[in-house]
Amino acid sequence: MLAFLQLSFLRLLTPAAWLALRLYLGWFLIVGVWDNIISTARMEEFEAFLRNLNCPMPDIAAPVSVWAQFAVGVLLIPGLLTRAAGLLLAVNFLVAVILIGATGANERDLFPPAILIFVGLVLAANGAGAWSADAVLGRKLRATGA
């Protein structure tokens, strides 16, 4: 009975869970910044938003943040360089939490960017999972002795 309560059988779903997380988060990040990538007007709106948050160099920070999110999304989908992508995700959204938090935002407003800090750290600490490009490359490197 205790073994059942520990739900150990769910470990079988670990590769699928990591894949689902990566696919959804990668898609979410890409879709979330796509308008800034294809539209100068939307990028300028994001720059103005950052300027209103007293972000230093918003004309540089906006495209850096947008392209960082896009790159993380592209890397997460196949699970490539996932640990680095996780760190980049955490740093990007840590900056967002600092900027938004300085406005007096409450916990509910901070939750979306804050949770992405923690998801990024979990990905950095754990990697992409068994069903990923990182896992395939790791197996190939071990097989060649590199």
pLDDT in tens, 84-112: 999 999 999 999 999 999 999 999 999 99
* CB-CB neighbours of 64 under 10 Å: 12
What is the rounded CA–CA span in Å between residue 122 and residue 112?
16
Question: For residue 145, what pLDDT is reported?
Answer: 77
Distance of alpha carbon 59 from alpha carbon 40, whole angstroms: 12
Q: 32-59 pLDDT, tens per residue?
A: 999 999 999 999 999 999 999 999 999 9
Asked which of 2-6, 15-19, 97-101 is least confident by mean pLDDT, the reply is: 2-6
